[in-house]
Amino acid sequence: MARQSRFRTGLELAKISWRTLRDHKALMAFPVVGIVLALIIGLLFTLPGILLIALTDVLWAAIILFAISGYLIAFTGVFVGVGLCATVDKVLRGEDARFADGIHVARERIPEIAKWALMVATVALVIRVIQSRFDGIGNVVGALAGLAWSLVSFLAIPVITFEGLGPIKALKRSSSLFKQRWGQQVVGQAITGGVVGVLIVLPGIALVVIGAMMVGGSTVAAGTALLVIGAVLVIIGSVLGGTLSQILSVALYRYAAEGETVGPFTAEVLQGVVRPRRGSRAA
């Protein structure tokens, strides 16, 4: 019953996040902008890197392109995420919210965004290195590290948005809220990400793999087309999943940090999601 209750709570959170995104046009602009910018970055840096690996032996140039792409995509994702959080907060409070309002907040947080993006890109790189260098056990360790990172950093974007903290303090604040108010926020995030992953991201990854194999053979044009289509699907799925998670994170942040419910995220739902651990006090 407890597991079923957790699943239902997570599913309800995912539904509320999706309805919030669907019903407010100002919010829809953020994932659209995020997708467009990520596509541009992918076309300028990621795709040439893939082609360099497939068609030449210039590995160092491909690594540089991937590093630039990784940081720019991380920066774009955090910038859009901060703008989204600021706008979501207004929407959930019943205030008029425009795309420009969120962008204004994000522009004020550019120094914090740039530093946090560097941390995000670095963590992602370390996890990938672990997975590639240690074969089977590396995948397990990398997956566990990724899960731990997603948990302790889940509220970092709202913290940066509303408190203006730098990366280290933001991570500590996010981790502190998570530890003090342990609950099932990961359930809602996992269900939301799982649905998006199955419907969009996994097919995109499959196309990228097939395309890469074809590029290495005699069907370069068809393989490149599949690579591009697959990359587009992966980017769309990743941005959409991240957008829904950010909507959820705003409601969780307000409730965890201030005990405040906003919008359709009612106390009944959030009480089953964020609750103090035994022996701890609310922040």
Q: How far is CA 30 from the centre of its chain?
A: 13
Query: Does residue 168 lie within any of the structural domains?
Result: yes
| Least confident piece of the model among 50-54, 159-163, 194-198, 210-214 | 194-198
Cα angle 114-179-127, degrees, rounded to a multiple of 5: 50
Number of domains present in the structure of the chain = 1
Is residue 188's pLDDT more than 60?
no
Interval 180-189 mean pLDDT: 54
Domain that holds residue 222: 2-270
37 belongs to a structural domain: yes
Residue 46 lies in a domain: yes
In a domain, 276, yes or no: no
* 83 within a domain of the structure (yes/no): yes
Say if residues 237 and 200 touch (Cβ distance below 8 Å): yes
Burial of 135 (0-12, 13-18, 19+ CB in 10 A): exposed
Mean pLDDT of 120-145: 83
* Within-domain flag for 213: yes
Residue 257 within a domain:
yes
pTM of structure: 0.78
Asked if residue 78 lies in contact with residue 157, where contact means CB atoms within 8 angstroms, the answer is yes
pLDDT value at position 83?
95
Q: What angle do CA 93, 117, 51 make, to 5 degrees?
A: 125
Is 167 part of a structural domain of the chain?
yes
Give 156-184 pLDDT, tens digit per residue. 999 999 999 999 999 999 888 877 664 44
